[in-house]
């Protein structure tokens, strides 16, 4: 996520996008935050407290692994603990993951997709970045292309949606579409300076996060 093919960097664009989306979510939605690098951890348990989530997004640190599968498993465990809010049965859940790299640690995308499908939790994914992104590791330039295939498979096998975004403008269009698919309307298009994100997965030399959201229709 240090790559600068998305300005100013992938990670900064992703953090700002996530915070913008959090502000736009309906107050009735439960929202949680899971970070991951070589492990996955619940930073914020699903709740309606938006300020805690945005603060945790600001505090994210880069890491050196990408445990995409572990992030899904940890997200599923967090979703299972969401209170019913007085209604019959749990609220309908979803996970949205944004990734810029390949899985390098932990359980596979296939295992994660199987678990999410069995739990009836759709995982929507966004492949974030370009094929020309690079980072400097110990004085050597290393390419960091996006693993579009794995993210598409994860979305398709869990009946989620798959998206690609190679710029802020494309990210904006993705989230406008996401807004309608999860049951809320964003502000008019001309008001957007640029986009928002429901969830992020950061790849290669990066930490990551996954935002979880659930709601009931009024």
Residue 182 pLDDT: 59
Q: What is the pTM of this model?
A: 0.79
Q: Which residue has the higher pLDDT, 218 or 6?
A: 6
**Nearest Cα to Cα of residue 201 among 29, 44, 40, 91:** 40
- Residue 111: burial class (beta carbons within 10 Å; 0-12, 13-18, 19+): middle
CA atoms of 64 and 104, how far apart (whole Å): 9
- For residue 213, is pLDDT > 50? yes
**pLDDT bucket at 216, cuts 50 / 70 / 90:** very low
Q: 10-83+92-138+147-205 in CATH: which number? A: 3.40.50.410
Query: Helix or strand or coil: residue 200?
Result: strand
- For residue 51, is pLDDT > 50? yes
What does the DSSP 8-state code read for residue 158? T
- Segments making up each domain of the chain, as ranges: 10-83+92-138+147-205
**pLDDT bucket at 115, cuts 50 / 70 / 90:** very high
Residue 109 pLDDT: 94
- Residue 58: burial class (beta carbons within 10 Å; 0-12, 13-18, 19+): exposed
Beta carbons of 37 and 208 less than 8 angstroms apart: yes
């Amino acid at each position: 996520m240090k790559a600068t093919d998305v300005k100013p960097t992938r990670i900064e664009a992703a953090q700002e996008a996530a915070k913008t989306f959090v502000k736009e979510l309906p107050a009735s939605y439960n929202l949680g935050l899971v970070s991951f690098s070589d492990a996955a951890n619940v930073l914020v348990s699903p709740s309606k407290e938006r300020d805690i989530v945005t603060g945790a997004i600001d505090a994210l640190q880069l890491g050196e692994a990408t445990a995409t599968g572990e992030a899904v498993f940890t997200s599923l465990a967090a979703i299972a603990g969401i209170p019913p809010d007085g209604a019959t049965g749990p609220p309908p859940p979803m996970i949205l993951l944004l990734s810029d790299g390949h899985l390098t640690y932990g359980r596979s995308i296939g295992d994660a997709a199987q678990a999410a499908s069995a739990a009836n939790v759709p995982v929507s994914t966004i492949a974030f970045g370009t094929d020309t992104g690079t980072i400097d590791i110990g004085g050597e330039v290393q390419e960091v292309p996006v693993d579009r295939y794995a993210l598409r498979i994860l979305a398709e096998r869990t009946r989620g949606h798959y998206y690609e975004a190679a710029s802020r403008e494309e990210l904006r269009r993705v989230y406008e579409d996401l807004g309608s698919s999860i049951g809320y309307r964003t502000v008019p298009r001309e008001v957007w300076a640029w986009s928002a994100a429901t969830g992020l997965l950061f790849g290669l030399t990066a930490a990551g996060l996954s935002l979880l959201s659930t709601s009931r229709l009024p």
